[in-house]
Amino acid sequence: MSRFFVCIRALSINAGVLVLYGHACPYGCPLGWYLGHSNDLFGRANEGVTAPQGSKLFQLCLWSQHDTTLASVILPLDMGSFQNWRALQLLNLLPGFCGFIIMLFLPESPKYYLSMGQDAKAMKVMERICRCNKGKDATLATLGIESVTQTRLQTTDTGHCAQIKSLLTNYRKYMTIMILIVLVLCGFGFALPVWMVRIRVSMQSTEEETTVCEHMQGTIAAKTAQCDLKFSDLLDAIIHGFVVLSVFIITSLLLFVLSRRVVMLTYIAIAIVGSLSLNFARNSYLILVCFFALIDAPLCCIRLLFTFIIDLIPTYLRGKATAILFMMGRVGILLTSLLVGYTLGLNCLVTFNTLLICLVVSSILVFMLPSDRRVRETYNS
């Protein structure tokens, strides 16, 4: 429950930044730009999950389809001087504001207090949780619990700078690997959806079946002052949302029989096939499937990557590790957008083959992460 509200807090902050950027922009917002960043917000809510949770997937399904449906209604409307995409962003801030208010009444995590050596505060929070779950008369003592503890406690009281230094020195190997992986995965999962929509809309304007590179060669995107959107332009994004949620569900099922590394390597292999196929695919539906393979497979690897933080990083350093990875993920989104933006029209083959090389490198880095068996041995030792 506490992790869910932490996700809501992250959603509210990211949504606020998104609206700030939107109001700072003097021109209309392309649909792909909005969908790329809104998908980023939805992805945040499912990261860091170590076990399949059907209720969370169901919630994400309702949430994402609500957002897409709301976009399909509001974006085509003519609102005069007030752009409709800004109204859409303001409406999507409401859940974030509600989550922020709820966060004010939630206690800190007992595990965090334990990792900081504040056992009394941890027991106080546990007592509060016990009363909420078992009734007002229930206490930890009646349940036979006298004290709580956890492994990898913080031994000394250090400042934030010292903790960051400890994180980047004592755990530099795994942090470096995860930073490089998240650069690639976030770039593919959150930057490429923007370009997928733009490319698909551009290719649908011509009836001739060509490859993406043949279509983009010498093509210059028309600059329009008004964003003219139709439902057909939103259809690919709606299908994309269903595909992402389906892959999330499949991932939860695969984790019953396969390790995280195997699932991540399988998804990256699917993305590699999609990147190769985009070099020669001509059929419109095949191109769409290739884009889904190139985008959705890395996107669904992100939450699995963040579970390694739970296994490899102590509790009192996990927040900083997660923040660093999110920050580097944003850098990956920017770098991927710049790569595609500057090379797609000039030499499309360079674009897809560079993305292919990045996927191969990320697969090698994923293979360097510890296996689940090795993680269990570390905990038992």
Mean pLDDT (the chain, rounded): 75
Residue 13 lies in a domain: yes
Lowest-confidence range among 17-26, 206-215, 256-265?
17-26
- pLDDT score, position 30: 39
Q: Taking a C-beta distance cutoff of 8 angstroms, is the pair 34, 237 a contact?
A: no
pLDDT of 4 strictly over 50: no
Residues 6+ apart with CB under 8 A from 19: 86, 89, 90, 93
Number of domains in the chain: 1
What pLDDT, in 10s, does the model give residues 130-152?
A: 888 777 777 777 777 777 766 65
- Token pair, residue 69, equals 């449906």
Residue 248 lies in a domain: yes
- pLDDT score, position 147: 73
Residue 121 lies in a domain: no
Q: Taking a C-beta distance cutoff of 8 angstroms, is the pair 183, 329 a contact?
A: yes
- pLDDT score, position 133: 79
Residue 134 lies in a domain: no
What values do phi and psi take at 227, rounded to 5? -85, 110
What pLDDT, in 10s, does the model give residues 65-118?
A: 566 677 777 777 776 777 777 777 777 777 778 888 888 887 777 877 877 777
Mean pLDDT, rounded, for 269-275: 93
Residue 143 lies in a domain: no
What pLDDT, in 10s, does the model give residues 12-68?
A: 544 444 444 444 433 333 333 344 444 444 444 333 334 444 444 545 555 555 666
Residue 191 lies in a domain: yes
Whole-Å CA distances, 374 to 252, 273, 312, 370: 21, 30, 11, 6
Q: Show the domain range for 64.
A: 2-106+162-217+227-380
Whole-Å CA distances, 87 to 36, 63, 76, 280, 317: 17, 18, 12, 40, 38
Mean pLDDT, rounded, for 159-181: 82
- Domain CATH number, residue 76: 1.20.1250.20
